[in-house]
Structure 1
């Protein structure tokens, strides 16, 4: 973040597996992708930002979860 302050904190619930343990989302074999859209809260200014992702499960590590990716896209608003 340009001024090193916390800009936004949020909690987002994402279901990654169903009640029988099968992964949700699109994928094959052991690689799956789930998308969650988060509404923008304000305009980002050019600069470097740090995004931290933490899980809220009881277990310290999540079995079968190796990587998390984030994609930030410009929102296109139709007038």
Structure 2
């Protein structure tokens, strides 16, 4: 989404670092201030390091990790 910043999320969501607690929640994925996608968390690592967004429509299941710089808003 061009022109959308993390402080102006699509649904007024806030930043989350506790990824392990987000299973089943709809979240926004951000990288370098750019909205990457919105989806439902299917699974997350207990150490909050990675999470998987469930497949939807023609999109496949996707993995995101904190080390790369992905940020989650929920």
TM bucket by the smaller chain?
under 0.3
RCO higher in structure (CA 8 A, sep ≥6): 2
Larger helix proportion of the pair? 2
Task: Give TM-score scaled by structure 2 length.
Answer: 0.23
TM-score (norm 1): 0.22
Higher strand share: 2
